[in-house]
Amino acid sequence: MRLVMKFGGTAVDSGKKIVHITNLIKSYHDKGNEIVAVFSAVTGMTDEILNVSGYVLKRDKKKISNFIDKTRAIHVDIIQNSIKDKNYRAKVLQVVEILLKEMENILNGIVLLSEVTQKALDHLLSFGERLLTPIISFCLLDKGIDSVYLTGQEVGILTDSKFGQARPLLDTTKIRVKYNIDPILRENKIPVITGFIGADQNGNITTMGRSGSDYTATIIAVCIDAHEVWLWTDVNGLMTADPCIVKEAKVLREVSFAEAIELSLFGAKYMHPRALEPVMDTMIPVRIRNAFNLSNEGTVISKNTSKSSQKIVKSIIAIRNTALIDVSGGGMVGAPGTAARIFDALAKKSVNIMMISQSPSESSISMVVKKADLDTAITTLDLTLIDKVIKNVKVNEDVAVIAVVGSGMRGIKGVAAKVFSSISKNNINVIMIAQGSSELNLAFVVNNRDCERAVKSVHDAFMLTKIN
């Protein structure tokens, strides 16, 4: 089989884990499979880079050298605990050193300007994955498997220039990626590719959004006609709830593309929201598996799921760090275009609205946004619309969205009743409700402090511990 295997940061945070993972890759390769490996950065690395870019703005040079030292220590430790051959070790240390120097130079350059553009940030973020892939590749060589390492740019992923949220230009990408990867596979080598990053038409490095390595894996899979995509992580698969909230959450055996997209859109952080787009219209299934528990088959996401897997509700998702904005004003009643003006103003400032609801009297509109977007949202509403379209803006900064997802909800009566009676039995106040017209999800907002109890009670009400 031709397999694209992606390994997330959670699966790679020590030399020991890398030995385990490269052995795992080797075992599938030894069985005669063609393997393309996609890696994200060492766990926490992307966050660290984002943090340091904040210090750069404060011209804190000491923080930069500390950061470079810490990054060096992490990667050197991994190299020493995963690669035995002294020659290979020396070579990869050299590669890492060159990358660290490049990163330090860029950071110091940014300090001078005291400004980090999204374009510069994408370049900086790319070092996370670029530091890890050579180590993996040399580790495979150490085990006697021929391997090469490539960046998303080198493999041929062409994107638009929307830095931070770039999208692949698939037609050109397909031609380039196939052209680059096919010969490597023919020579029985394993290409190790950086996830998350591509390049635009001018050769600038772009990133495709957080968790972008999942996206890289599916993009490559369609380009090279892979049989399957396997996303290796540290949990057994997609679950009926975040196991950190519901300890007895169960692994879902089968999930449709539509359901999985719904889950990822609702921000269950395990997958990039657009990761399934490239494979949706293909017969390429995506498996999510635990790299540290091979006996579990994991979750398979595919176009056609079996009848027995079509449950009413499959998963309860909690999205924290969200805020609720209520805008109101008598002038909104019966005034066509009010909602459009509000959403348009926010969209122009790139504020993503996660949920909307309007009272039937039309005198108020409630919106849920990520906390990170709250300041921009409020300033925009204040500057552009207050006293013109709206009168008051109220904010509740500490809410969580709970989404109940499952394709079996479509056309089934009583789902909402069951959800909300379980919530009210637990004395939890529901602040807002919305249902997508696809009826694949039902979402509601609660106070953040009630979030865990809400997830648990709906999980119980649908007896999701017995789903299999």
Positions touching ligand ASP (CB under 6 A) are: 8-9, 40-41, 46, 128, 195-196, 210-213
- In the complex, the smallest distance separating the C-beta of residue 202 from ligand ADP, rounded to whole angstroms, is 29
For helices 415-425 and 451-461, angle between their N-to-C axes, nearest 10 degrees: 130
| Residue 212 touches which of ligand ASP, ligand ADP, Mg ion, none (Cβ within 5-8 Å per kind) | ligand ASP
Q: Is 211 in the site for Mg ion (CB under 5 A)?
A: yes
Q: Closer CB to ligand ASP, residue 216 or residue 305?
A: 216
Judge whether 343 and 310 are in contact, CB under 8 Å: no
Draw the binding track, 204-233, toward ligand ADP (x: CB under 6 A; -: no contact). -------x---------------------x
Q: What residues numbered 29-48 form the site for ligand ADP, per CB under 6 A?
A: none
Can you read off the two tokens belonging to residue 402? Answer: 């709970």
Can you read off the two tokens belonging to residue 94? Answer: 């050299």
- In the complex, the smallest distance separating the C-beta of residue 5 from Mg ion, rounded to whole angstroms, is 14
- CA 410 – CA 296 distance, rounded (Å): 30
Q: What residues numbered 314-343 form the site for ligand ADP, per CB under 6 A?
A: 315
| Residue 239 touches which of ligand ASP, Mg ion, ligand ADP, none (Cβ within 5-8 Å per kind) | ligand ADP
Q: Closer CB to ligand ADP, residue 95 or residue 235?
A: 235
| Residue 268 touches which of ligand ASP, ligand ADP, Mg ion, none (Cβ within 5-8 Å per kind) | ligand ADP
Q: Could you tell me which of 180, 172, 220 has the C-alpha nearest to residue 197?
A: 220
Choice from 268, 432, 440, 458 touching ligand ADP (CB under 6 A): 268
Q: Where are the alpha helices (DSSP H) in 212-321?
A: 212-223, 257-265
Q: Is 239 in the site for ligand ADP (CB under 6 A)?
A: yes
Choice from 13, 182, 234, 362 touching ligand ADP (CB under 6 A): 234
- CA 417 – CA 409 distance, rounded (Å): 12
Q: Could you tell me which of 213, 260, 263 has the C-alpha nearest to residue 233?
A: 213
Amino acid (one-letter) located at 68: I
**Distance of alpha carbon 336 from its chain centroid, rounded?**
37
145: Cα within 13 Å, side-chain hemisphere? 33
Q: Is 195 in the site for ligand ADP (CB under 6 A)?
A: no
Residue 359's CB: how many other CB atoms inside 10 A?
A: 13
The 3-state secondary structure of 405-440, one letter per residue: ECHHHCCCCCHHHHHHHHHHHCCCCEEEEEECCCCC
Draw the binding track, 153-192, toward Mg ion (x: CB under 5 A; -: no contact). ----------------------------------------
Q: Could you tell me which of 89, 193, 198, 201 has the C-alpha nearest to residue 150?
A: 193
Give residue number: closest CB to ligand ADP. Answer: 8
Q: Is 8 in the site for Mg ion (CB under 5 A)?
A: yes
- CA 150 – CA 194 distance, rounded (Å): 7
- In the complex, the smallest distance separating the C-beta of residue 133 from ligand ADP, rounded to whole angstroms, is 15
- In the complex, the smallest distance separating the C-beta of residue 271 from Mg ion, rounded to whole angstroms, is 7
Q: Is 254 in the site for ligand ADP (CB under 6 A)?
A: no
- CA 269 – CA 263 distance, rounded (Å): 9
The residues binding ligand ADP (CB under 6 A) are: 8-11, 211, 233-235, 238-239, 241-244, 268-270, 315
The residues binding Mg ion (CB under 5 A) are: 8, 211
